[in-house]
Amino acid sequence: MKNSAKITRRDSLNQSPWQKETFTPAKAQQADLSGVADTVIVGAGITGITTALMLQKAGRKCIVLEAGNIGFGTTGGTSAHLNTFFDTTYPEIESDFGKDAARLVADSGKEAFSIISALVDEYRIDCDFEYKEGFLFSENEKETRQLQTILESSVNAGIAAEKSKTNDVPVPFEMAVRFSKQGQFHPLKYINALAMAFIDLGGIILEDTFVSSSKTEDGIIELDAGGLPIKTANLVYATHIPPGITAFSFRSAPYRSYVLGVKLKDNSYPTGLSYDMQEPYHYFRTHQIEGQKYLIIGGEDHKTGHNDPEQAFANLESYVNQYYQVDSIAYKWSSQYYVPADGLPYIGRMAAAGDSTYIATGFNGNGMMFGTLSAKIISDQILGNENPYTDLYSPSRLSPIAGFTDFVRENADVAWHFIADRFGGEALDAISELKNGEGKVAELQGTKLALYKDSNGKVTALKPVCTHAGCIVSFNAAEQSWDCHCHGGRYDLSGKVISGPPQKNLEQVSLPK
Ligand code: FES
| Res 24: pLDDT | 79
**288 in Cβ contact with 297 (< 8 Å):** no
Pick the atom of ligand 1 nearest to 471's CA. 3
Is the Cα torsion angle 192, 195, 201, 203 positive or negative in sign?
negative
Whether cis (ω within 30° of 0) applies to the bond prior to 501 is yes
| Res 422: pLDDT | 38
Q: Which residues pair with 257 in a beta bridge?
A: 335
Least confident span in 36-45, 105-114, 335-344, 368-377: 335-344
Residue 496 lies inside a defined structural domain of this protein: yes
Residue 425: Cβ within 10 Å count: 10
Give ∠ CA 84-89-92 in degrees, rounded to 5. Answer: 140
Q: What's the gap in Å between 414 CA and the centre of ligand 1?
A: 9
Q: Which residue of 336, 468, 491 sits with most ligand 1 atoms within 8 Å of its CB, as the best mutation to test the pocket?
A: 468
d(CA 429, CA 426): 10
- Whether pLDDT at 64 is above 70: yes
Whether cis (ω within 30° of 0) applies to the bond prior to 280 is yes
| Res 287: pLDDT | 98
Least confident span in 77-86, 149-158, 252-261: 252-261
Give ∠ CA 429-440-501 in degrees, rounded to 5. Answer: 145
CATH code: domain of residue 474: 2.102.10.10
Residue 494 lies inside a defined structural domain of this protein: yes
Pick the atom of ligand 1 nearest to 473's CA. 2
Question: Whole domain around residue 450: which residue ranges?
Answer: 431-509
Regarding the beta carbon of 81 and ligand 1, being less than 6 Å apart is answered: no
Query: pLDDT for 29-60, tens place per residue?
Result: 777 788 999 999 999 999 999 999 999 999 99
* pTM of the shown model: 0.83
Residue 447 lies inside a defined structural domain of this protein: yes
Residue 475 lies inside a defined structural domain of this protein: yes
Strands (E) in 226-275, as ranges, are 228-237, 252-264, 273-275
pLDDT-derived band at 445, boundaries 50, 70, 90: low
d(CA 96, CA 165): 31
Regarding the beta carbon of 501 and ligand 1, being less than 6 Å apart is answered: yes
Residue 69 lies inside a defined structural domain of this protein: no
Provide, rounded to the nearest whole percent, the portion of the chain with pLDDT above 70.
90
| Res 430: pLDDT | 53
Q: What's the gap in Å between 411 CA and the centre of ligand 1?
A: 13
Residue 289 lies inside a defined structural domain of this protein: no
- Whether pLDDT at 1 is above 80: no
Regarding the beta carbon of 161 and ligand 1, being less than 6 Å apart is answered: no
Pick the atom of ligand 1 nearest to 466's CA. 2
SS3 415: helix
d(CA 409, CA 411): 6
Question: Quick one: DSSP state of residue 140?
Answer: S
Residue 96's contacts (CB-CB under 8 Å, 6 or more residues apart) are 342, 343, 399, 401, 402, 403
Q: Which residues pair with 476 in a beta bridge?
A: 481
- Whether pLDDT at 341 is above 90: no
Residue 483 lies inside a defined structural domain of this protein: yes
Closest listed residue to residue 56, CA positions, set 187, 192, 195? 195
The dihedral region occupied by 196, where left means phi > 0, alpha psi between -120 and 50, and beta the remainder, is alpha
Residue 218 lies inside a defined structural domain of this protein: no
Show the DSSP H helices in 242-392 as ranges.
248-251, 309-323, 367-383
Regarding the beta carbon of 498 and ligand 1, being less than 6 Å apart is answered: no
Q: Which residues pair with 333 in a beta bridge?
A: 259
| Res 446: pLDDT | 66
Closest listed residue to residue 137, CA positions, set 108, 88, 172, 89? 172
Regarding the beta carbon of 466 and ligand 1, being less than 6 Å apart is answered: yes
Average pLDDT across the chain, whole number:
88
Give me the number of domains the chain comprises. 1
Regarding the beta carbon of 489 and ligand 1, being less than 6 Å apart is answered: yes
Q: Of 114-128, 342-356, 404-418, where does the model show the most confidence?
A: 114-128
Closest listed residue to residue 493, CA positions, set 450, 430, 456, 445? 450
Pick the atom of ligand 1 nearest to 249's CA. 1
Q: What's the gap in Å between 439 CA and the centre of ligand 1?
A: 19
Give ∠ CA 342-258-471 in degrees, rounded to 5. Answer: 60
**358 in Cβ contact with 234 (< 8 Å):** yes
Percentages helix, strand, coil for the chain (3-state, rounded to 5) are 30, 30, 40
Query: pLDDT for 170-197, tens place per residue?
Result: 999 999 999 999 999 999 999 999 999 9
pLDDT-derived band at 243, boundaries 50, 70, 90: confident
Q: Whose CA is nearest to atom 3 of ligand 1?
A: 469
| Res 485: pLDDT | 87
